[in-house]
Amino acid sequence: MPSLDFDREESLFRAFYAQQCAALKDACEALTGMVAEVVEQAGGVDIAKVEGRVKDADECIRKFVRKYRPALEESNTPFDIQSYITDLVGVRVVCLYEDELEKIAQIVRAHFAVIDVTDKVTAVESTEASFGYKGLHLDLKLSAAQRDLPEHTAYAHLPFELQVRTIIQDSWSVLDHKIKYKKSIPGQLKRRINVLSALFELADREFRQIRDATAAELLEAPDETAEPAFDAELDALTPQKAAASSSELNAFTFLKIATHFFKDFEFEPSKVDGFVDDIQAWSPGMTRARFNALMRETVGVVKRYKQHLEEQNPQGSFNPYTVIRHCLYLSNKAAFRPALRNSARESFETWLQEHAEPKPQ
């Protein structure tokens, strides 16, 4: 039975915690897996990590003392500490962009029963007295349908806290916990913490805006594949259009051209960035028009070579990057010699000689 004896209730809570610790860890692992699964299946958001934790017993006691004990004792309301700790199990989803916080919240709302929601981003941004921000917190429990499943019996009615943060918010939270005496420090130090907090918030916004600008650049990149811009055709264009058509190859125009030739292949941005850098190192000033032209001139030959290799070795790998490397080499063997390893180059040359494939002009 609840009482007003804090020492007794603390002892009972610690006994409960010790008895349930193993079960709480199992529940944490299961709930973390469930959250990760529903977010992953929903798609549409970039997740950095999903992790869980069981709250430490001492931390639970401190939270109760800080948030609930004074008011309960003032009103002579009996209590048991366990009832006030709704985040014994916590799950954290860390995403990349701040506009994905609410998307993730909507996903989990559709799969779990929501007890309460705390938007700490809005709470902090609405006052100048708080440092940093923590993201979105939801108190959840299994839905009625989930609670009826036998595999969830052990934690069917256990509430858990879900924290949804961006990578920047998560990093700030870690550092924020290390800053001591934030509420009563001198004004000059408070200002420095506010500046640091603002820099983190600015980083979050810039990260999202760079993502949006990158997507816009890709959409706006000229489509060489729709209107092939060979050198002969450039002469018929105005000087302004000719300059635009011969602009230097970059990641965006490379993707536009490469995805035309390899529609079912997903080019990873990090690999594209390095590959385009390599192309420009091998042939400084490579333009998007020239790259498109050389691909058109050579890809048929290289695809026949690819088919030959795959017939000889069905388990071999000849991905689009490998095709493009061979196309580059075939277009200019001197400039693009580094595009192929010695063994690959020798094999390709042998095949070319056997099949009497002329070098594109």
- pLDDT at res. 121: 56
- pLDDT at res. 235: 41
pLDDT at 234 over 60: no
| Residues 26-43, mean pLDDT to the nearest whole number | 94
pLDDT tier for residue 347 given thresholds of 50, 70 and 90 = very high
pLDDT at 146 over 90: yes
Q: pLDDT, tens digit, for every residue of 99-108?
A: 999 999 999 9
| Residues 121-135, mean pLDDT to the nearest whole number | 54
Cβ proximity of 159 and 86 under 8 Å? yes
- Walk me through the domains of the chain, giving residue ranges and CATH numbers: 6-208 (3.30.460.10), 221-354 (no CATH)
- CA 289 to centroid of chain Cα atoms: 33
Global pTM value: 0.67
Q: What CA–CA distance (Å, rounded) separates 238 from 21?
A: 75
- pLDDT at res. 70: 93
- pLDDT at res. 193: 82
Q: Quick one: what percent of the chain has pLDDT higher than 70?
A: 86
Q: What secondary structure letter does DSSP report for 219?
A: H
| Residues 153-169, mean pLDDT to the nearest whole number | 92
| C-alpha pair distances (Å), 34 with each of 21, 28, 159, 213 | 20, 10, 14, 34
| Residues 256-282, mean pLDDT to the nearest whole number | 91
- pLDDT at res. 189: 83
Does residue 309 or residue 128 have the better pLDDT? Answer: 309
Does residue 130 or residue 147 have the better pLDDT? Answer: 147
- Torsion angle defined by CA atoms of residues 70, 76, 79 and 84, in that order, rounded to the nearest 10 degrees: -40
**Which range, of 165-179, 240-254, 345-359, averages the lowest pLDDT?**
240-254
- pLDDT at res. 44: 87
pLDDT tier for residue 232 given thresholds of 50, 70 and 90 = very low
Q: pLDDT, tens digit, for every residue of 5-15?
A: 999 999 999 99
pLDDT tier for residue 357 given thresholds of 50, 70 and 90 = low
Q: pLDDT, tens digit, for every residue of 290-322?
A: 999 999 999 999 999 999 999 888 887 899 999
Q: pLDDT, tens digit, for every residue of 171-222?
A: 888 888 777 666 677 878 878 888 888 888 899 999 888 888 887 877 776 6
What is the three-state SS of 45-64? Answer: CCEEEEEEEECCHHHHHHHH
Buried b (16+ CB within 10 A) or exposed e, 169-188: bbebbeebeeeeeeeeeeee
| Residues 140-161, mean pLDDT to the nearest whole number | 92
- pLDDT at res. 57: 95
How many degrees, rounded to 5, is the angle at CA 218 between CA 214 and CA 219? 120
pLDDT at 136 over 50: yes
pLDDT at 79 over 50: yes
Q: pLDDT, tens digit, for every residue of 212-231?
A: 888 787 777 666 555 444 44
Q: Which residue has the tokens 């970059």?
A: 250
- pLDDT at res. 313: 86
Cβ proximity of 88 and 60 under 8 Å? yes
Cβ proximity of 226 and 289 under 8 Å? no
Q: What secondary structure letter does DSSP report for 12?
A: H
